[in-house]
C-alpha cells in the first residue's frame, strides 16, 4: 500500500526535454492510468518511478519516504511488462517462485505463497508447464502472478495487454480490475488507449509532450475537460469542435440531438445539416452531418428508422465547452453562439 508523490520531476535526453516539471500525487490504493499519445513520455516516467531510468531533476516519494535515489530493488514496486519477460526454461511454478528464492524465503513458505497466487490467477492446473505451452493470456497471468507474489506497495504496468488480441484484451481488462479490487494495492498503468483508460481507471493522468494536461476521475476528465487537448483525446467519436474566431466550442456527439419527426424535443440551439453517413453499432447509431460549421458527429441510442437527408441538430447550453485560442477552457460566452437560432422553428412536411 503506497501513495506515490512526484515533485518537479524532469527528464532530458540530450537536448530533448521529454518530461517537463511533473508534479503528481498518485493515491494509495487507486487504479491510476497514465494516458497519452505515443512518444509523450509515459514509459520514461514509469521507468523513472521504478528506478530503471534516472531523472534529470526532481524528487519521488513513496508515502513519506523519499526514494529518488533508491535502487529498483529497494523501491517496493513490481513492474509488469508488455513482453512478459518470463524465463523460458523454467516452469510456471519456478517463474513465480524465483523472486522469493532470491529473497531467501524458506521453502515451505514459498510453496504456500506460490500456491496462493496460482489460485488467484487461475493457473493452478498449469503450474508445471513451460511458458511456450501457454496462451498469450496465460503468459500475461504468469507475469502478473510473479509480480503479485512479491506483495509490493505498488504495481507498475506498461501497456501490458497490447500484445493480446481484442477479445482477450477485453477479458484481461476485467481480470485486472477485479485483481486490483482484491489486492487493494496502488496500480499505475500506462496506456495510449483512451477506452482502456476510461474503462479501467479510478483515476486518469493525461500526459502530452511531457506535461500533465489533467488529472482526475474518468468522470471528471470526460465531463469537465480542462483544455482542448483533453476534450479531443477522450471520447469516441471525438468531441465536435466549432471554430468561432479566437475561440472554439466543443459539444460531445451524444449531447447533440437529432430532431426528427419521431423526436421533436429541441435544446437551446439549433443548426441545419445534411446527412453524410449513418453507422449502426448495434447499441448506438452514429451520424455524420455536414453543417455550415463543419462536419459534425451525432451519437444516439440505436435508432433503426431511416433519417431524412435534410436534418436539424440541437444542443443544450450546459453541454457546450468553451476554449480560448491557447486551447484552455474558459468561461462560457453564449454571444459566440448567437448565429444559432435559440427559438426552435420546426418545419416538417
Ligand atoms: P511513450 O511511452 O509515451 O510512447 P517514451 O517515454 O517511450 O514515450 O518516450 C518519450 C520520448 O523520449 C520519445 O520522443 C522517445 O524517442 C524519447 N526517448 C525515450 N527513451 C530514450 C532514450 N533512452 N534516449 C533518447 N531518447 C529517448
Ligand atoms: Mg511507451
Rounded to the nearest angstrom, the distance between the alpha carbon of 299 and the centre of ligand 2 is: 32
Q: Determine whether the shortest distance from the Cβ of 47 to ligand 1 is under 6 A.
A: no
Q: Say if 232 falls within a structural domain.
A: no
pLDDT value of position 219: 97
Which pTM does this prediction carry?
0.91
Give the domain-ending residue among 223, 256, 291: 223
From residue 50, give the alpha-carbon distance in Å to each of 70, 83, 86, 98, 177: 9, 17, 19, 20, 22
Distance CA 246, CA 328 (A): 12
Rounded to the nearest angstrom, the distance between the alpha carbon of 264 and the centre of ligand 2 is: 47
pLDDT in tens, 108-128: 999 999 999 999 888 999 999
pLDDT in tens, 123-142: 999 999 999 999 988 998 89
Judge if 275 and 218 occupy the same domain. Answer: no
Angle at the Cα of 151 from the Cα atoms of 145 and 157, rounded to 5 degrees:
60
Q: Note the ligand closest to the C-alpha atom of 37.
A: 1
Q: Say if 193 falls within a structural domain.
A: yes
Q: Determine whether the shortest distance from the Cβ of 54 to ligand 1 is under 6 A.
A: no
Rounded to the nearest angstrom, the distance between the alpha carbon of 39 and the centre of ligand 1 is: 6
Q: Say if 29 falls within a structural domain.
A: yes
Question: Which domain does 249 fall in, by range?
Answer: 238-340
Q: Say if 345 falls within a structural domain.
A: no
Q: What is the mean pLDDT of residues 292-310?
A: 91
Q: What is the mean pLDDT of residues 74-80?
A: 92
Judge if 73 and 204 occupy the same domain. Answer: yes
Burial (0-12, 13-18, 19+ Cβ within 10 Å), 166: exposed
Q: Determine whether the shortest distance from the Cβ of 18 to ligand 1 is under 6 A.
A: yes
Rounded to the nearest angstrom, the distance between the alpha carbon of 43 and the centre of ligand 1 is: 7
CATH of the domain at 44: 3.40.50.300
Quote the percentage of the chain above a pLDDT of 90: 75
- Atom 24, ligand 1: residue with shortest CA distance: 13
- Atom 14, ligand 1: residue with shortest CA distance: 39
pLDDT in tens, 260-277: 766 666 788 888 899 999
Q: Note the ligand closest to the C-alpha atom of 81.
A: 2
Residue 32 pLDDT exceeds 70: yes
Judge if 214 and 279 occupy the same domain. Answer: no
Atom of ligand 1 nearest to the CA of 190: 2
The pocket of ion ligand 2, defined by CB under 5 A, consists of 43
CATH of the domain at 312: 2.40.50.140
Question: Average pLDDT, whole number, for the chain?
Answer: 92
Atom of ligand 1 nearest to the CA of 158: 2
Orientation angle between helical segments 136-148 and 107-120, nearest 10 degrees: 130
Q: Say if 231 falls within a structural domain.
A: no
Give the domain-ending residue among 196, 223, 250: 223
Residues facing 190 on adjacent strands: 34, 158
Judge if 192 and 335 occupy the same domain. Answer: no
Judge if 250 and 219 occupy the same domain. Answer: no
Atom of ligand 1 nearest to the CA of 14: 25
Judge if 206 and 276 occupy the same domain. Answer: no
Atom of ligand 1 nearest to the CA of 45: 6
Q: Looking at the 3D structure of the chain, how many domains does it have?
A: 2
Distance CA 74, CA 225 (A): 37
Rounded to the nearest angstrom, the distance between the alpha carbon of 85 and the centre of ligand 1 is: 20
pLDDT in tens, 166-200: 888 888 899 899 999 999 999 999 999 999 999 99
Judge if 285 and 202 occupy the same domain. Answer: no
Amino acid at each position: 500500500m503506497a501513495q506515490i508523490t512526484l515533485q518537479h520531476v524532469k527528464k532530458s535526453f540530450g537536448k530533448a526535454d521529454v518530461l517537463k516539471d511533473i508534479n503528481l500525487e498518485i493515491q494509495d490504493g487507486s487504479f491510476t492510468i497514465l494516458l497519452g499519445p505515443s512518444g509523450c513520455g509515459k514509459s520514461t516516467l514509469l521507468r523513472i518511478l521504478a528506478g530503471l531510468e534516472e531523472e534529470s531533476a526532481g524528487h519521488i516519494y513513496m508515502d513519506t519516504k523519499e526514494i529518488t535515489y533508491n535502487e529498483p530493488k529497494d523501491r517496493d514496486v513490481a513492474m509488469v511488462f508488455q513482453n512478459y519477460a518470463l524465463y523460458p526454461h523454467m516452469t510456471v511454478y519456478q517463474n513465480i517462485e524465483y523472486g522469493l528464492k532470491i529473497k531467501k524465503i524458506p521453502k515451505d513458505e514459498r510453496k504456500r505463497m506460490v500456491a496462493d497466487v496460482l489460485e488467484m490467477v487461475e493457473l493452478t492446473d498449469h503450474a508445471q508447464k513451460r511458458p511456450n505451452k501457454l496462451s498469450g493470456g496465460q503468459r500475461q497471468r504468469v507475469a502478473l502472478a510473479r509480480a503479485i507474489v512479491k506483495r509490493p506497495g505498488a504495481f507498475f504496468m506498461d501497456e501490458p495487454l497490447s500484445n493480446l488480441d481484442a477479445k482477450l484484451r477485453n477479458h484481461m481488462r476485467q481480470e485486472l480490475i477485479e485483481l486490483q479490487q482484491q489486492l487493494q494495492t496502488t496500480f499505475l498503468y500506462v496506456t495510449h488507449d483512451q477506452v482502456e483508460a476510461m474503462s479501467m481507471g479510478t483515476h486518469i493522468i493525461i500526459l502530452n509532450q511531457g506535461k500533465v494536461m489533467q488529472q482526475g476521475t474518468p468522470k471528471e476528465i470526460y465531463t469537465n475537460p480542462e483544455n482542448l487537448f483533453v476534450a479531443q483525446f477522450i471520447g469516441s467519436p471525438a468531441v465536435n469542435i466549432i471554430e468561432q474566431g479566437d475561440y472554439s466550442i466543443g459539444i460531445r456527439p451524444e449531447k447533440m440531438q437529432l430532431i426528427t419527426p419521431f423526436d421533436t424535443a429541441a435544446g437551446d440551439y439549433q443548426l441545419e445539416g445534411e446527412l453524410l453517413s449513418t453507422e449502426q453499432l448495434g447499441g448506438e447509431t452514429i451520424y455524420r452531418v455536414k453543417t455550415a460549421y463543419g462536419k459534425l458527429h451525432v451519437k444516439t441510442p440505436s435508432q433503426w428508422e431511416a433519417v431524412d437527408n435534410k436534418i436539424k441538430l440541437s444542443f443544450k447550453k450546459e453541454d457546450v465547452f468553451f476554449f480560448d485560442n491557447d486551447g484552455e477552457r474558459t468561461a462560457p460566452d453564449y454571444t459566440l453562439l448567437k448565429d444559432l437560432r435559440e427559438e426552435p422553428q420546426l418545419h416538417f412536411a
